Amino acid sequence: MATALAPTSIRLAGPEKRRIAAAARKQGMTPAKFIKQAALERAANPDGMALAQLTSSLKELIQDEVDAAIALDRIARRKEGKGRLFTGEEARRELGL
């Protein structure tokens, strides 16, 4: 059974309309569909926590990647006889712990 559609009107300044149209094109959709999808996503999650959680998770993943790259570099340098091993006490003192 088809649902009847009801038109809704919004007023946009020229620059706003252009930004929305450009973003919609990048997503391969019409401005109307883009606005509808954004509004429904916002209605489903009005406090924006999903985006905040995603952003936080991405930051953690990026930091983990950086940490892993540093560790792999240090391991490779140590295998080449470069770099230095620290005792636990030396590491704590070096880090100010």
Q: How many CB atoms lie within 10 A of CB 34?
A: 19
Tens-level pLDDT at each residue, the chain (97 residues) = 668 888 889 998 998 999 999 989 998 999 999 999 988 887 877 676 777 777 888 889 999 999 999 999 989 998 998 888 888 999 999 889 8
Whole-angstrom CA distances from 22 to 15, 17, 42, 43, 53 are 11, 9, 20, 23, 27
One domain, residues 39 and 73: no
Cβ partners under 8 Å of residue 74, min gap 6: 83
With DSSP H G I counted as helix, E B as strand and the rest as coil, what are the percentages for the chain, rounded to 5?
70, 0, 30
**How high is the pLDDT of residue 1?**
60
Q: pTM of the full predicted structure? A: 0.46
- Residue 4: inside a domain: no
Give the structural domain span for 19: 13-44
**How high is the pLDDT of residue 51?**
72
**How high is the pLDDT of residue 86?**
85
One domain, residues 72 and 94: yes
Q: Is 29 helix (H, G, I), strand (E, B) or coil?
A: coil
